[in-house]
Chain A
Amino acid sequence: MNYLLRRLLAVIPVLAVVAVIVFLLLRLAPGDPAVIIAGDTASAEDIEHIRQTLGLNRPVVEQFVGWIGQILRGDLGTSVFTGMPVAEMIRQRVEPTLWISALTMAFAVVFAVPMGIIAAWKAGTWVDRAVSGLAVAAFSLPVFVIGYGLVYGFSTQLDWFPVQGFKSLSDGFVPFIRHLALPVISGGLIYMALLARMTRSTMLEVLAQDYIRTARAKGLSSQRLLLRHALKNAAVPIVTTIGLGIAMLLSGVIVTESVFAIPGIGRLTVDSILRRDYPVIQGIVLVTATAYVLINLITDLLYGLFDPRIRY
């Protein structure tokens, strides 16, 4: 409990740092929403008017204080462009991103961990080389190239999957999974590669430990040795990678959302950055950062499940 509370409190400075970084970054960037709202034919005067109505003329510090005050009241603000509450925009977009992330992770874990285990067990053999080779290769291609390739092969040519879009689970499982299959695979390959490599090297290290020798001296079968004795020990670094990989996963999700026209958080953020919709960017980054910190907190707590030496 003590530990949990301390970790939860530690989230606050992280978020404060995130808030400051994001705010400064955006306010220092050239360009502001007023010119975009004013449009092609606007005069300088028009732009100034709009800037004033948006409150962009106030000193940066004042804006920052105002924003923080808003946040503390639980209000993420409203979009400069759409006039929609940021919280509402995030709510609209969160489902696809959550699904993609979760399924990508599941996809990666389901394939990568066994691959890594087998590669480590068969270290130095062709199986190991094939797995390691695949992992390095998956690391070497941008997500969008993989995405285009999959679209070309499985949508345009084979017509198995739709090209773009997102269907909610409430629209039925089949449309849901058909729309997500390609984005998840294209985004998940890199993550899978990362995880497979990590699993392999962790397992290699665990397999070199004295207690594995003990287990072998007990006459255990390879299967039991790997799954009971080695994997549980390798779990902590693997879980850490899964947690830290969230950042990488999100980068991939942003690109896949663009390629597959999926209305998720990632695409919303990039769009908002490109058109300087400050409240939206700030809100999203704050929310994703919170999610990231919490996920890492959860992975930390998970360690306790795998490693009895860790006590909070």
Chain B
Amino acid sequence: MDSPMIAALEARLERQRRQPRILVFARRHPVLVAGAALLATMVLLALLAPWLAPHDPTEMNVLQRLKPPSADYLLGTDALGRDILSRTLYGARVSLLVGVSVALFSALVGLGIGTVAGFNRVADRIIMRIMDGMMAIPGILLAVALMTLIRASIATVVIAIAMPEIPRVVRLVRSLVLTIREQPYIEAARAMGTRLPMILLRHVIPNLLTPLIVQASFIWASAMIFEAYLSFLGAGTPPEVPSWGNMMAEGRSVVQLAFGIILYPGIFLGLTVLAVNLVGDGLRDLLDPRIGRKL
């Protein structure tokens, strides 16, 4: 007894249902799938860099410096005669590594601290004061100061970028914990005699993972940009590391001579950050469109 319009629609839906699941998924979550595909490409390029890169990314050839693209140097060379293509490909490794590590590090630390703050009122007071203090210092200053404090390496860059993110994660986790601990299923667990550590592990943390993962993906994206800022301000990854930030920072003084030095890493960085952001957006919409507000 369906009206013809509904019948037609039904038929169309049925046809779609018979398509491969991945296609159906892609139609439903275009943002997520586009982001994931782009990100996968970048990850692939990064992983395959040793095979794809025509040159050693750190090999200097001062006689070939600032060369325009040629058959040997497809994207030209930088101010020390290093192959821009190779450096860009290897740069994907550094940027992705830095981004992922920052996201993981700040998410894990933030999860730990935020959970404690959410469950212990005394600890909460102390922790939140410290977090407020950290948040009151502009992140980039905190990071630059940290970079001068510790010897420049990829690990220290990760820590320096993660540090200003941690208070934000802590606040998110704490507010989620405060919401979750009021949920009836937590009350139910207490009524069942579940002890606090188990409540945290089985009931609280799994339920805040979703927004945390979304938040982590945005941290990942911004960490890659932040890495470039640090290099720009002269406090980034060590100069011999072919990170996109370094390439752009080194290349910026010669922008007008060899635009490619800043263009190619810029494009790659932009695309990768875009990919991660799209994945984050997609995940947020997929998992829960309403957690956006808390982020």
Interface positions of A (Cβ within 8 A of B): 13-18, 20-22, 25-26, 28-31, 132, 136-137, 139-145, 148, 152, 197, 201-202, 204-205, 237, 247-248, 250-251, 254-255, 258, 266, 269-270, 273-274, 276, 281, 285, 288-290, 292-293
Contact = CB atoms under 8 A, between A and B. Distances in A.
A285 B137 contact: yes
Contacts of B136: 14-15, 18, 288-290, 292-293
Contact of B137 (A13, A136, A289): A289
Contacts of A250: 138, 140-141
A59 B94 CA distance: 40
Contacts of B169: none
Given A255-B233, A293-B136, A139 B255 contact: no
Contacts of A269: 141
B138 A273 contact: no
B262 A29 contact: no
20 contacts: A13-B129, A20-B133, A21-B137, A25-B146, A132-B281, A140-B277, A201-B293, A250-B141, A251-B138, A254-B138, A255-B229, A255-B232, A270-B144, A274-B233, A274-B234, A274-B235, A276-B148, A285-B137, A285-B141, A289-B137
A148 B253 CA distance: 11
B25 to A, nearest CB: 18
B132 A14 contact: yes
Given A21-B137, A144-B252, A251-B139, A205 B149 contact: no
Interface string B226-241: 0011001111000000
Nearest to A290: B136
Contacts of A142: 225, 228-229, 232, 248, 266, 269
Contacts, number: 145
B137 A288 contact: yes
A285 B274 CA distance: 32
A197 B248 CA distance: 28
Nearest to A275: B148
Contacts of A18: 133, 136-137
A143 to B, nearest CB: 7
Contact of A148 (B138, B222, B233, B262): B262
B141 A270 contact: yes
Interface in B265-290: 266, 269-271, 273-274, 277-278, 281, 289-290
B264 to A, nearest CB: 12
Contact of B144 (A14, A136, A273): A273
B251 to A, nearest CB: 10
Contacts of B148: 29-31, 273-274, 276
A51 B294 CA distance: 49
Interface string B199-237: 000000000000000000000011001001100111100
B248 A14 contact: no
B273 A143 contact: no
Contacts of B142: 25
B145 A17 contact: no
Given A14-B136, A136-B278, A273 B141 contact: yes
B60 interface: no
Contacts of A152: 255
Contacts of A20: 133
Given A21-B133, A25-B149, A273-B148, A141 B292 contact: no
A36 B267 CA distance: 38
The listed residue with most B CB atoms (<10 A of its CB), out of A25, A140, A143, is A140
Contact of B274 (A140, A143, A144, A289): A140
Given A13-B129, A247-B139, A273-B148, A258 B233 contact: yes
B130 interface: yes
Contacts of B145: 22, 25-26, 29, 273, 281
Contacts of B252: 144, 148
Contact of B233 (A132, A201, A254, A288): A254
B43 interface: no
A201 B292 contact: yes
Contacts of B271: 140
Nearest to B290: A205
